[in-house]
Amino acid sequence: MSSEKNLIYIFTMLECIEKIWIYSKDYKSVDEFIFSDNQQPLNASVNLFIAIGEESKKIDAGLKDKIDYVNWSDVKGLRDKISHDYRGVNADVLWQIIHSDLKNLKDGLVEMVSFIHPPSEIIDEFVSSPYYIHLQYLKK
């Protein structure tokens, strides 16, 4: 698989993380997050978690092996849990992931970008897209 394909998956995951943080930042508790705005922030975040898990399955195994501090099985497993048992998803667990585990995943994904070492023109092209608007920090 080409490095550019891996970058698409990584950038999509990073954008999802940034959006989850945006959607959850104004809430001080899990209950507030869950029940606000007809559950719109929760539902948006849940769908972004699904995208994160799905994209994680597509990244080359050798690249994921270099980031051994991320539990890739858990990333993928959360997606499967949400997709197949939506009502069984524990909101407290999602809240904990948002406020603890996503930072670790973000760090691992940013490190992956450095392993791929794409030309700055490629990064600029990605982050100039409206799909990756929250990834300006990847510019050199």
Distances (CA, A) of 42 to 9, 94, 96, 113: 23, 9, 13, 29
Q: Is the pLDDT of residue 87 over 70?
A: no
- Closest to 27 measured CA to CA, from 104, 91, 79: 91
Phi and psi based region of residue 126 (left: phi greater than 0; alpha: psi -120 to 50; beta: remaining):
alpha
Q: Is the pLDDT of residue 46 over 50?
A: yes
**Cα–Cα distance for residue pair 56/73, rounded to 1 Å:** 9
Q: What is the pLDDT of residues 91-116, one digit of tens each?
A: 888 899 999 999 999 999 999 999 99
